[in-house]
Amino acid sequence: MRKLLSLIALAWLLLAAPAFAVDGTALLQQLDRKLEPESYEMVRKLVNIEPDGSRKEFVLYSVKKGKDKIAALFLDPASERDRATLRLGENMWLYIPNVGKPLRITSLQSVTGGIFNNADILALEFSVEYTVEKVVEEATSYTLSLKARTGDVAYDRLTMRVDRKTTLPLSIEAYAASGLLIKTLTYKDIKDFGGGIRRPATLETESPLHKGYKSLMLYGSIKARKVADEVFTLEYLPRLKELR
């Protein structure tokens, strides 16, 4: 009887003990690594779809190093070929052949038009730009409330749903500091890219500010690659095509 009472008491203690809270920062860092290596090369297509169904497509080759350096080269269409962009932290530039020095651009502008802005196209890791304020655990997912680390980040807050099984994002709602919903991003089509990278191959975005418009980001290849620091300089932008 005494043994039975001890077991019952232990069971009550276990039931009464608080559950361990999810480490939101570690979860977000794990998600970053699932989406892409810390340094990589990538080819993707951006598709802008207008209300009448017409489409405009761009193919970009990108390289990234560490947490705050990323460059992208336009491969198609022919009218955009050899244009290049560079992001160092929150600073961004656009290089246009036959135009003088690279031009400064901002995170909320878009070098491709459509709903994806420059911050989406030249995205840094989520854990670099955002802190996790809250994690809500659900049966099959987590909901993360993220706050921008600085006022330079394109979106003040994100509400991110993450699949519990894969630790990959399902959707993101992006908000301005005023609380206005700017856009919704949806991740689809899990694909094995090799090298241990298994992630969504499609990112779709829509915005209540641009009703009837839609933009897609279709990932063709992603793989780890070491890239020299000189690649991420304004002087190297005209030579970015040499990396391919």
For residue 1, tell me if it sits in a domain: no
Give the CATH number of the domain where residue 172 resides: 2.50.20.10
For residue 16, tell me if it sits in a domain: no
Say which residue the tokens 């901002």 belong to.
Answer: 106
For residue 17, tell me if it sits in a domain: no
Closest CA to 38 of 50, 30, 26, 48: 30
Q: Are 48 and 37 in contact (CB under 8 A)?
A: no
Beta-carbon neighbour count of residue 140 at 10 Å?
A: 9
Continuous segment of H or E residues that includes residue 104? strand 103-105
Q: Are 216 and 49 in contact (CB under 8 A)?
A: yes
For residue 178, tell me if it sits in a domain: yes
- Mean local confidence (pLDDT), 118-129: 95
pLDDT tens digits, residue range 26-85? 999 999 999 999 999 999 999 999 999 999 999 999 999 999 999 999 999 999 999 999
Query: How many structural domains does the chain have?
Result: 1
Q: In percent, how much of the chain has pLDDT > 90?
A: 89
Residue 127: give the domain boundaries: 22-243
Q: pTM to 2 decimals? A: 0.88
For residue 13, tell me if it sits in a domain: no
For residue 90, tell me if it sits in a domain: yes
Pairwise CA distance, residues 50 & 55, whole Å: 6
- pLDDT at residue 235, rounded to an integer: 96
pLDDT at 233 over 70: yes
For residue 15, tell me if it sits in a domain: no
For residue 10, tell me if it sits in a domain: no
- Mean local confidence (pLDDT), 1-21: 48
Closest CA to 226 of 13, 26, 64: 64
pLDDT at 161 over 90: yes
Q: Are 34 and 190 in contact (CB under 8 A)?
A: no
pLDDT at 124 over 60: yes
User: In DSSP terms, which residues pair with 95 in a beta bridge?
Assistant: 84
pLDDT at 243 over 60: yes
- Structure letter (DSSP) for residue 116: -
